[in-house]
Amino acid sequence: MIGHGFPTLTYGLILNLSYKNFDFSMNTHGVAGIDILSYSSARLQSVYNPTGGYQNVLAEYVNNAWSSTNKNSTTHRITKTDYNKNYRVSDAYIKKGDYFKISNIQIGYTLPKKVVRYARMENVRVYLSADNVLTVSPYNKYGDPEIGSSNVLFTGFDSGRYPFPMSVSFGLNVTF
């Protein structure tokens, strides 16, 4: 067995602030002590493509790959044929998966009651919200470290899913 697919520590922080009619909230979470078997890492460190042709790789891999002039490299050589099957699962693709994520930030303003009464409303709040704001992790170059699956057998395995996008929304809450 290599790596630890379950985090040693899972944590989160929720921050709510308000001042007069303004409010601010931020939701964060993260994990520490997790290793990820990264399919993305394997794909981004090999130009070998079993269906033919070439595929994109990390510039870091191209610059540090083993060659006759770079014999002390820990990264395998660049090859289209891959007779050594460098693409197969190995500890070379176990990556640190610790991360800290700001998952939501929201800023709002509630209109004064004396202003909204004239429109026969009880409360009006305008807000701006952003989701998936920031992820800090050594794993970022391979994708989103917040991996997961409904199958416990895939815990700690990144199958190469597309990362969650950042989204920004504007809202209006009105109470009559």
Q: How is the chain classified by DSSP, letter by letter?
A: --S--S-SEEEEEEEEEEETTEEEEEEEEEEES-EEEEHHHHHHT----TTSS-----HHHHHHB-BTTBTT-SBPPP-SS-TT-TTS--GGGEEE--EEEEEEEEEEEEPPHHHHGGGT-SEEEEEEEEEEEEEE-TTGGGS-S----SSGGGTTEE--PPPPPPEEEEEEEEE-
Phi, psi dihedral angles at 60 (to 5 degrees): -60, -40
Predicted TM-score (pTM) of the model is 0.78
Mean pLDDT for 121-141 is 93
Domain count for the chain: 1
pLDDT score of 10: 95
In this model, does residue 141 exceed pLDDT 90?
Answer: no
pLDDT score of 44: 75
Residue 86 lies inside a defined structural domain of this protein: no
pLDDT score of 65: 82
Mean pLDDT for 108-114 is 93
In this model, does residue 160 exceed pLDDT 90?
Answer: no
What percentage of the chain exceeds 90 in pLDDT? Answer: 41
Residue 50 lies inside a defined structural domain of this protein: no
Residue 148 lies inside a defined structural domain of this protein: yes
CA distance 123 to 116: 7
Residue 171 lies inside a defined structural domain of this protein: yes
Residue 48 lies inside a defined structural domain of this protein: no
The radius of gyration computed from the CA coordinates of the chain, to the nearest angstrom, equals 24
Residue 123 lies inside a defined structural domain of this protein: yes
Domain range for 165 is 9-35+97-175
Mean pLDDT for 97-123 is 92
What's the mean pLDDT when you consider all of the chain? Answer: 86
| Model pLDDT for residues 26-39, shown as the tens digit of each residue | 999 999 999 998 88
In the structure encoding, which two tokens stand for residue 131, read together? 């989701």
CA distance 23 to 43: 44
Residue 139 lies inside a defined structural domain of this protein: yes
Residue 42 lies inside a defined structural domain of this protein: no
What percentage of the chain exceeds 70 in pLDDT? Answer: 93
| Model pLDDT for residues 32-82, shown as the tens digit of each residue | 999 998 887 777 777 767 776 777 777 888 888 888 888 888 777 777 776
**2 or 30: whose pLDDT is higher?**
30
